[in-house]
Structure formats: structure tokens, C-alpha cells
């Protein structure tokens, strides 16, 4: 009896300990998680927590000094480059390891391993986009070149030095909640992080929706409604700039496909939220006589933030700026002599090819006059909580993988029709690590241009300024050499003339140096006007931000860093300036519309999307609904069989201004009446007020005010972790405002202003988050308030290890 009792009690005690040591379904391991010695309590950091003074690390060659400033920014001083990038990896892993790991899992299509079946479709999609294959190519190009090889390998060793010494107690809270531990870092994982960026910037397409519209309306209407260059535009390279190169011959436009075959492709449409601003002002327009440079890349805002600030110093370099966790070097920043910044180019580098299969076995597809074999690859997914491995078979043509609709069954039962994908992501290699190394070390304009062969994808508008008083901008990247409108619509996979054959020479991508107007700028608009000899795409980001930036820079003399900061926060609504007077003219004639208080608000508006204005709440909604009211009847965006693109806002407003009697105003769904522009505008205005009333209650300046009506959300990378997010931040701006903050959570993810100087530059910047990735740290989101107000921090750019700076709060020595 007593033995049984002893055994039973042992079993219960041991069993409990065992069960509490393991994750329970979606719940974390209760024992270590709740224990105050190791659990989440340990992630709560007190505001005056100090890092350790010394850290012993194997793999270092010498001693590295890391000085942390009051904002948690590390300033790293190493005796050689290996140690520098080793320390960069180690230091960033201390603050952001989980985030880096997360990005690499996204691109590897391995999120469901740690998050469960919820992430499986996302994983499948990312694998079908060939993000893992692309990363392998990139990693190969990193390790093929001696400089980038040294960087990615040292960086990986630094990250791994942290992983080896971190105990459960110090692991990120996300690891503890989700119940997994970090994997070793590698150059491949750095490449995976870059693939996430390529996907975010380039993996979007309107081709299929455009093809549906083409099939219904024909080429003439498409040319009219979807022109290849906007009516109002202010291109990055000023119109009239002479191209000082001899262009390659552009391929002739081949025969287009006659009809589009139905296929339900659920791709992400063009995302207007992915945009950015940058500009550099020549010394002729600044107070100091030397250039100023500003950049605010707009990305999906997240916590932890996409950016991390660092200063990297070795005998070869002293550079400050932001980097993406997992990606060594400094991405956007400055050194003693130069400053640079980036915005997305957004050219068309993602094309779909219709594939004609020989028969229902899908073993061969047509190409030219031949039938080519289809190959297939099986992808395996381990899913958390599921004992079996899930397999996904993907068919490949030489164009690339064949994408099917979501919810595709492993064996095709209905129409055997798919589209193959060719996009820049897995195709272009380049060497971003080498590119960053070169620009981090750059001293002048020639050094800046040296990065071009290495910057492949995503394509960036790289703005540049130097203390030799040069300013320049280049739409850099590897862009396919296309015939005009190649890829505007789905392409014919059977026609060899339809595929990508060559690249635009990197030195012939659009660029301009020291233009007469005294500044360069970009806001994702057309890189160049139609005089540029190559076709880059038919649609870029709407022109409004670019127009406003160029107007204001054109009026600036004696510019200071603060003039540039104010421009970053400019809330002027260029679209309203263009179209609101026209709209008011129509509304004025309708007594019931004019009687609405909203009419008065719009009529008296100062055209600024300031947070305390009410008019932007009405205007933004009104123009959105108006565009739908005009186009949705003929060009349905949500149609299940044939969803279509709609003409741009630029084309729509041009029609309203110049062709008020166009047939497109008529709602074809009402057969008893022919609507005019006036009818559509007044009914939509009233409908807009109704929908705003539903959303915010009857008209009330308190609840309709733009700052609260818009709100900006900054969500944690795992949206389920709501309490780690910052929701409804009040600020001004809007999607096509220079201050491009959106409701959907896009916006300036880093704002930087640099004043170049002969001796030592001065710089300002911040991002909506904090240096620490730990939601329990005071440095997790400490910059959000200042960001919302449009303020900037002065950045601490140390001259040397020995400089005494009042804002340096602690020093850590990394030693062998």
C-alpha cells in the first residue's frame, strides 16, 4: 500500500511537472511561462535597466565597444570589419531576434510550424511565389563575393553567439507565448529577409483584372481609360532632362492575346499604401549652402518596428542610420560625407502568363510551335499541432510556377487553366549586402553610382547628397527590358515574344544629377516622362505627393532641416485642390445637397488634411465612393468571374473636368434613366453623408474630425496580440498626402532629415516604435507620440569611441 501511494504521488508530481513544461495546444508551457524566475514577468523591463558592462563572446577577434544613447540606439565601435558585423548581429539579436526570425519564417513559408494551421495558406502562397528559391539565389550571390561573404558570415556568427547564450528567461515574449525557440541564423536567412521586402514592394499585379477589362471593352477604350502616362504628373526626373546614353533597341510589340480565359486568381491588387517620399535640396537653396536630404519610407507600420537605428564604426567606416533586422549594414542613413535614402520604384516587374495545356493530364504546355513538359515540385509543411506533414504540389513551366486560386484542390477537377508567374523576386540576384557596404563607405557621387549593379530588387529611387554639394536621384534596380505595355495585361505563355528576354542596362535607369531646379525628389510617381526610351509600367503611385513636394521645394530658399521636417508633415490635399471646386459647382445647384452641413464644411475647407479638420473625413470618403459610383457598373472590382481594374483617379478627374458628358457617368444598371455627371455627384454626396452618419453618428464636429475618424493603427506582427499594438493614433495626413499616414496602418516608417556639412553632419530622425522589440520595455514604442506630432529626435552621431556625449547612457564591452 505505502509503495503504491509513494509511486502514485510521484507519478502525479512528475506528471504535473512534465505537462507544465510543454506547450499545451496553443497555450504556452505553463510552468516556465508563469514562473516569475523565468516566465513573462522577466520580460517586463524597468525604465532604469542597465545592460551588463562586459559580455564574453567566442568568435570575436578583438574588443568591441557598444555605447547606448538615451533612446536605446547602439553605437558600435570595432577594430575591424569582421568584429563590426559580428557585433551588429549580436546587438540587434538582443533587441529584435524574434522579429528577424519571424521575417525569415514568412519568406521560407514556415510560419505554420510555429503558429499553427491559421498560417498555412499564407505559407503556401509565399512558397508559390518562390520566395525560398529566390533566397537561395541571393545567399549564393552574397557568399560568392568576398566583401559580402565576410559581412553575412560575421553577422550570422554574431546572431548565433546571442542565440547560444540566451536562456529561456531572456527569450522574447513571443517565443514564450508561442512556445518555440530560435533557430540558428545563416546567410540564407538574411536573404529570406530581403525576399520579404521584395514581396512587399513588387509582388502585386493588376494584369489579370486589366485583361478582363480588355476582353470586355477592347483596346481602343482601354487606351482611352487606362493611358500609359497620367494627365497630371510631376515625374522624378524633371521633364526636359536629356538622356545622355544610347538606348538599346526596344523589342517590337507582338500580337496580343485575343481573349482572356477565366481563372480565379486571388492576388493582392496594387497597394497605394506602399509609397515613400525622399528628396535632396542643393546648397543653392539651403541656409547652410550645403545640401539637405530627407527620406520617409512608407511601409506597413508594425511593432516591433521594421527599422532599427544603429551607428557602425570600424577603421573603414563610420555610418549612422536604420537597418532592417536580419539584414546587415545600414539601409538608409548618412556618414561624414554623404547621405542617402530610398523609396520604392514600383515598376511593373510581376507578370502573369496564360498557359495552354495540351490535355487534361497537364503534362505538356504550348510554347511556340512545340509542346513543352510541365514539371512539378512538392512542398512540405510541418504544421504546429498537426502530426502529419502537409504536401502541396505546384506545377512549373519555364516561365515559373503556375498559380491557382486559393482553395485549390491537389487534383484538378474543373477547368485546367492557370497562369504562370514571372516576377523579379526569384529571378534577379544582385547583391544588396555589397550595395549597402558600398554606400555606407561612400564619399562622393561616383561612389554612389557604384552601387547600381548590385541593387537588383526591389527597385529603389535612391536619393543622394554629398558635402561636395552634389544631389542626385536614380531609379535603381534590375528592370526587364520590355516592349511597350508588356505586362499591362496577362501575357501569352505560348508566345515566345511575350517573355522577359533582357534587362535595361543599370546605368540607363532613370537618373538625374544636380538638375537646374536645385533639388531632386521622389514619391513613387513616374520615374520619367514619356521621353524616357524604356517602358517601366503604365501606372505608378498617384502624382499628388510628388506634385506637392516639388511645388514646395521649388519655392524654398534658405532651407533648413526644419523646413524639410515641416514638408514631411505637410497635410495639403492636392487632389482636393484639383477636383473639389468642380464638385462643389455641381452640389451648389442641388438645394438638398447644399443644405447639408457637410456642404458648408467642404466649401470653407482650407484643403488641409489636418487632424482637427472635418472636411477631409467627408472629402476622402466622397471621392472614394464617387469613383466607385462612376465605374463599378462597367468595371466591377468584386465580380467573381471577371474582376476588373478601374481607371485611375487621375483619369477619372480628367474626365470630370474635360468630358462631363462621357457615357461612363451613366449607371448602366438603371435602364429607365441616363444619369449625368451631376446626378452621380449629388446622389453619391448624399450617400456619403449617410454612410458617414452610420459610422460616426449624425453630423457632429467632435466625432467627424479627421484625426479620430482616420486614426492610424500600428499592429504587432502577430495581429492576435492586440495588447502589444498601438491603435487609433491621432494624426493628420492621408494616403495621397505627403504626410502619408493611413487608416490601414501604412505610413512613414522612418523619418530622417540630414544636414550635410564639411566637418560633421547634423541629422534628425525617428520611427513610430522603439529600439526594443520587447513589449515589456520602455523602449518598445517610446517614439510613437513624437512621431504622431511630427517631431524628430536629433540623432547622436559620434565622431569616435572617446567622444564624451551627454546622451550616452551606458557602455558595454564585448570581449573574447
Residues 6+ apart with CB under 8 A from 142: 148, 149, 151, 152, 187, 190, 191, 431, 433, 434
| Minimum separation from the CB atom of position 719 to other proteins (A) | 12
Q: Residue 38 interacts with other proteins (CB under 8 A)?
A: yes
Region from 45-53, 396-404, 431-439, 636-644 binding other proteins, contact rule CB under 8 A: 45-53
**Measured CA angle at 9 (ends 8, 10), to 5 deg:** 90
Residue with cell 565601435: 77
Region from 107-115, 122-130, 436-444, 774-782 binding other proteins, contact rule CB under 8 A: 774-782
Q: What are the DSSP E strand ranges found in 496-632? A: 511-513, 519-522
- CA–CA dist 546, 591 (Å, integer): 37
Residues 6+ apart with CB under 8 A from 664: 225, 630, 631, 634, 655
How far are the Cα atoms of 188, 299, 600, 637, 793 from residue 195, in angstroms, in the given order? 10, 15, 49, 29, 31
Q: Is 348 annotated as a binding residue?
A: yes
Q: Choose, from 148, 156, 276, 305, the residue flagged as catalytic.
A: 276
Specify whether 276 is catalytic. yes
Are β-strands 338-344 and 460-466 bridged in parallel, bridged antiparallel, or unpaired? Answer: antiparallel
**Nearest in space to 251 (alpha carbons), one of 447, 482, 29:** 482
> Per-residue string for binding with other proteins, 437-476, x by CB under 8 A?
----------------------------------------
Q: Residue 24 interacts with other proteins (CB under 8 A)?
A: no
C-alpha cell recorded at residue 571: 497635410
| Minimum separation from the CB atom of position 536 to other proteins (A) | 45
> Per-residue string for binding with other proteins, 132-171, x by CB under 8 A?
------------------------------------x---
Q: Residue 245 interacts with other proteins (CB under 8 A)?
A: no
| Minimum separation from the CB atom of position 606 to other proteins (A) | 39
Which 3 state secondary structure label does DSSP give 463? Answer: strand
**Measured CA angle at 270 (ends 264, 275), to 5 deg:** 160
| Minimum separation from the CB atom of position 384 to other proteins (A) | 17
Would you tell me how many other CB atoms lie within 10 Å of the CB of residue 249?
A: 8
| Minimum separation from the CB atom of position 165 to other proteins (A) | 15
Query: Using CB under 8 A, which of 22, 24, 41, 405 touches other proteins?
Result: 41
| Minimum separation from the CB atom of position 743 to other proteins (A) | 23
Q: Residue 118 interacts with other proteins (CB under 8 A)?
A: no
Q: Residue 13 interacts with other proteins (CB under 8 A)?
A: yes
Q: Is 81 annotated as a binding residue?
A: no
Residues 6+ apart with CB under 8 A from 353: 397, 399, 400, 419, 420, 421, 422, 490, 491, 492, 493, 498, 499
Region from 55-63, 133-141, 387-395, 772-780 binding other proteins, contact rule CB under 8 A: 772-780
Q: Is the dihedral of CA 733, 736, 741, 744 positive or negative?
A: positive
| Residues 291 and 445: beta-carbon distance below 8 Å | no
Q: Residue 721 interacts with other proteins (CB under 8 A)?
A: yes
Q: Residue 21 interacts with other proteins (CB under 8 A)?
A: yes
How far are the Cα atoms of 137, 456, 645 from residue 427, in angstroms, in the given order? 8, 10, 27
Region from 144-152, 227-235, 484-492, 771-779 binding other proteins, contact rule CB under 8 A: 771-779
| Minimum separation from the CB atom of position 306 to other proteins (A) | 21
Q: Residue 45 interacts with other proteins (CB under 8 A)?
A: yes
Closer to other proteins at the Cβ: 35 or 514? 35
Region from 16-24, 431-439, 577-585, 617-625 binding other proteins, contact rule CB under 8 A: 16-24
C-alpha cell recorded at residue 631: 465605374
Query: Using CB under 8 A, which of 16, 184, 269, 727 touches other proteins?
Result: 16
Q: Provide the annotated active-site residues.
A: 276
* Binding interface with other proteins (CB under 8 A): 2-3, 5-6, 9-10, 12-14, 16-17, 20-21, 27, 30-32, 34-47, 168, 173, 177, 720-724, 775-776, 778
Residues annotated as binding site for Ca(2+)? 348, 351
Amino acid at each position: 500500500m505505502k509503495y503504491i501511494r509513494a509511486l502514485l504521488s510521484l507519478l502525479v508530481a512528475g506528471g504535473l511537472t512534465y505537462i507544465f513544461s510543454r506547450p499545451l495546444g496553443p497555450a504556452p508551457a505553463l510552468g516556465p511561462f508563469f514562473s516569475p524566475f523565468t516566465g513573462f514577468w522577466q520580460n517586463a523591463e524597468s525604465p532604469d535597466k542597465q545592460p551588463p558592462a562586459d559580455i564574453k563572446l567566442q568568435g570575436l577577434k578583438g574588443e568591441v565597444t557598444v555605447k547606448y544613447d538615451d533612446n536605446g540606439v547602439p553605437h558600435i565601435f570595432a577594430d575591424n570589419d569582421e568584429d563590426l558585423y559580428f557585433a551588429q548581429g549580436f546587438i540587434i539579436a538582443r533587441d529584435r531576434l524574434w522579429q528577424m526570425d519571424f521575417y525569415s519564417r514568412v519568406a521560407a513559408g514556415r510560419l505554420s510550424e510555429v503558429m499553427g494551421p491559421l498560417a498555412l495558406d499564407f505559407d503556401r502562397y509565399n512558397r508559390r511565389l518562390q520566395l525560398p528559391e529566390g533566397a537561395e539565389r541571393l545567399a549564393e550571390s552574397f557568399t560568392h563575393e568576398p566583401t559580402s561573404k565576410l559581412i553575412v558570415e560575421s553577422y550570422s556568427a554574431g546572431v548565433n553567439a546571442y542565440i547560444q547564450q540566451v536562456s529561456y528567461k531572456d527569450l522574447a515574449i513571443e517565443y514564450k507565448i508561442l512556445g518555440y525557440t530560435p533557430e540558428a541564423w545563416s546567410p540564407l536567412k538574411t536573404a529570406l529577409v530581403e525576399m520579404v521586402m521584395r514581396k512587399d514592394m513588387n509582388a502585386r499585379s493588376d494584369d489579370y483584372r486589366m485583361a478582363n477589362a480588355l476582353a470586355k471593352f477592347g483596346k481602343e477604350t482601354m487606351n482611352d481609360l487606362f493611358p500609359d502616362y497620367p494627365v497630371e504628373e510631376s515625374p522624378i526626373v524633371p521633364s526636359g532632362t536629356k538622356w545622355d546614353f544610347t538606348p538599346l533597341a526596344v523589342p517590337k510589340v507582338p500580337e496580343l492575346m485575343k481573349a482572356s480565359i477565366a481563372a480565379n486568381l486571388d492576388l493582392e491588387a496594387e497597394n497605394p499604401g506602399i509609397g515613400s517620399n525622399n528628396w535632396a535640396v542643393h546648397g543653392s537653396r539651403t541656409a547652410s549652402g550645403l545640401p539637405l536630404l530627407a527620406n520617409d519610407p512608407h511601409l506597413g507600420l508594425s511593432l516591433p518596428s521594421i527599422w532599427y537605428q544603429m551607428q557602425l564604426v570600424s577603421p573603414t567606416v563610420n555610418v549612422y542610420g536604420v537597418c532592417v533586422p536580419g539584414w546587415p549594414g545600414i539601409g538608409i542613413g548618412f556618414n561624414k560625407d554623404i547621405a542617402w535614402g530610398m523609396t520604392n520604384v514600383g515598376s511593373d516587374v510581376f507578370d502573369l502568363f496564360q498557359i495552354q495545356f495540351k490535355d487534361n493530364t497537364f503534362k505538356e504546355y504550348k510554347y511556340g510551335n512545340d509542346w513543352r513538359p510541365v514539371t512539378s515540385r512538392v512542398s512540405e509543411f510541418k504544421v504546429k499541432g498537426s502530426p502529419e506533414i502537409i504536401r502541396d504540389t505546384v506545377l512549373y513551366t519555364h516561365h515559373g510556377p503556375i498559380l491557382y486560386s486559393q482553395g485549390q484542390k491537389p487534383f484538378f477537377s474543373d477547368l485546367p487553366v492557370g497562369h504562370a508567374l514571372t516576377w523579379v523576386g526569384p529571378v534577379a540576384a544582385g547583391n544588396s549586402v555589397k550595395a549597402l557596404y558600398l554606400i555606407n563607405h561612400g564619399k562622393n557621387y561616383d561612389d554612389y553610382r557604384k552601387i547600381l549593379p548590385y541593387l537588383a530588387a526591389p527597385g529603389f529611387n535612391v536619393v543622394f547628397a554629398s558635402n561636395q554639394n552634389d544631389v542626385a536621384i536614380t531609379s535603381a534596380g534590375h528592370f526587364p527590358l520590355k516592349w511597350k505595355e508588356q505586362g499591362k495585361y496577362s501575357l501569352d505563355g505560348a508566345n515566345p515574344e511575350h517573355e522577359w528576354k533582357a534587362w535595361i542596362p543599370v546605368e540607363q535607369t532613370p537618373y538625374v544629377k544636380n538638375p537646374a531646379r536645385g533639388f531632386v525628389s521622389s514619391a513613387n510617381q513616374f520615374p520619367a516622362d514619356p521621353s524616357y526610351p524604356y517602358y517601366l509600367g503604365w501606372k505608378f503611385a498617384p502624382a499628388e505627393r510628388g506634385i506637392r513636394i516639388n511645388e514646395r521645394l521649388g519655392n524654398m530658399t534658405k532651407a533648413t532641416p526644419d523646413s524639410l521636417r515641416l514638408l514631411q508633415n505637410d497635410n495639403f490635399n492636392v487632389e482636393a485642390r484639383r477636383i473639389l471646386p468642380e464638385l462643389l459647382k455641381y452640389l451648389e445647384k442641388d438645394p438638398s445637397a447644399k443644405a447639408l452641413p457637410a456642404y458648408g464644411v467642404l466649401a470653407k475647407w482650407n484643403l488641409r488634411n489636418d487632424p482637427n479638420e472635418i472636411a477631409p473625413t467627408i472629402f476622402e470618403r466622397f471621392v472614394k465612393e464617387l469613383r466607385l459610383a462612376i465605374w463599378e457598373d462597367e468595371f466591377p472590382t468584386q465580380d467573381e468571374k471577371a474582376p476588373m481594374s478601374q481607371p485611375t483617379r487621375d483619369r477619372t478627374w480628367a474626365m470630370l473636368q474635360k468630358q462631363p458628358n462621357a457615357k461612363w457617368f451613366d449607371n448602366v444598371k438603371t435602364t429607365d434613366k441616363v444619369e449625368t455627371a451631376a446626378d452621380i455627384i449629388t446622389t453619391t454626396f448624399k450617400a456619403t453623408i449617410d454612410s458617414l452618419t452610420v459610422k460616426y453618428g449624425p453630423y457632429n464636429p467632435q466625432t467627424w474630425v479627421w484625426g479620430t475618424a482616420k486614426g492610424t493603427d500600428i499592429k504587432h506582427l502577430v495581429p492576435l496580440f492586440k495588447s502589444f499594438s498601438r491603435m487609433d493614433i491621432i494624426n493628420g495626413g492621408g494616403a495621397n498626402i505627403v504626410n502619408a499616414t493611413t487608416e490601414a496602418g501604412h505610413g512613414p516608417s522612418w523619418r530622417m532629415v540630414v544636414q550635410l556639412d564639411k566637418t560633421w553632419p547634423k541629422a534628425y530622425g525617428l520611427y513610430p516604435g522603439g529600439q526594443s522589440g520587447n513589449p515589456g520595455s520602455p523602449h518598445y514604442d517610446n517614439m510613437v507620440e513624437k512621431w504622431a506630432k511630427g517631431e524628430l529626435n536629433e540623432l547622436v552621431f559620434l565622431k569616435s569611441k572617446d567622444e564624451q556625449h551627454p546622451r550616452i547612457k551606458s557602455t558595454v564591452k564585448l570581449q573574447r
